[in-house]
Amino acid sequence: MLRDTNSSRKTNYDMPGSNTTPRDYATLFSDAYTSLFKDFVMKHDVIIIKSCYPNSNIKSDDELQTIKSHYGSIASFFAQHSNKQLIIITSPPLVPLRTNTANAARARELALWLSHETFNANINVFDFFDMLADHANDHVNMLRRTYRRLLPFDSHPNKQASKNIAPKLVRRIIDVAARLST
């Protein structure tokens, strides 16, 4: 959903699969997919995508490889559209009640792979997962305690996380957009 600058007018666009999974993004950013949404998206110079929580609860190594292949497909599409800048925001980590150690480790592996994979110069990765994840203690690769909300099953980052991370995301967007004029 997009809103105008006054937050009054809303515009909805249907995603393939009605979700923001890497598979759905791979479908959207494929030469076979044509829709008003894709036409709208490709009119922009900077495109930002973020998958949500299913990407943070990866249940098997096969699932991890499948997700990587979807991101590879997205990267191939943007390699053919080098006049566009893509920012991939890694998925946020989950609270301990929503995942387990093995699934959280695979989520970390995906975030690291995205952050270190050699994509084309027009693909940028903002490692949201790493900024939110616990790096020590009993809940490694899960949402750090200082960024959790009060409800123990709510994986949405709290205001403190927003305060700390939002300026970094804005800076990244500005830096990527500045590359367009050089």
| Among the listed residues 158, 156, 53, the one whose alpha carbon sits nearest the alpha carbon of residue 104 | 53
- CA 171, 94, 115, 51 dihedral sign is negative
What does the pLDDT look like over 106-126, one tens digit per residue? 999 999 999 999 899 999 999
Q: Are 140 and 134 in contact (CB under 8 A)?
A: yes
Q: Per-residue pLDDT tens for 68-106?
A: 999 999 999 999 889 999 999 999 999 999 999 999 999
| Strand 10-11 with 2-3, pairing | antiparallel
Mean pLDDT of the 25-32 span: 83
d(C-alpha 47, C-alpha 9), whole Å = 21
Using 50, 70 and 90 to split pLDDT, how confident is the model at 164? very high
49: β partners: 88
Helix (H, G, I), strand (E, B) or coil at 3: strand
Torsional class of 118: left (φ above 0), alpha (ψ -120 to 50), beta (otherwise) = beta
Provide the terminal-to-terminal Cα distance of the chain, rounded to the nearest Å.
Answer: 31
Where helices occur in 47-98 by DSSP H, the ranges are 61-79
- Dmax over CA atoms of the chain, in Å, equals 47
pLDDT in tens, 140-153: 999 999 999 999 99
**Domain 2-180, architecture per CATH:** 3-Layer(aba) Sandwich (3.40)
Per-residue pLDDT at 4 exceeds 60:
no
Do strands 46-50 and 85-89 pair parallel, antiparallel, or not at all (unpaired)? parallel
Residue ranges of domains in the chain: 2-180
Strands (E) located in 39-122 = 46-50, 85-89
**What confidence tier does 66 reach under pLDDT thresholds 50, 70, 90?**
very high
Backbone angles phi, psi at 59, to 5 degrees: -85, -15
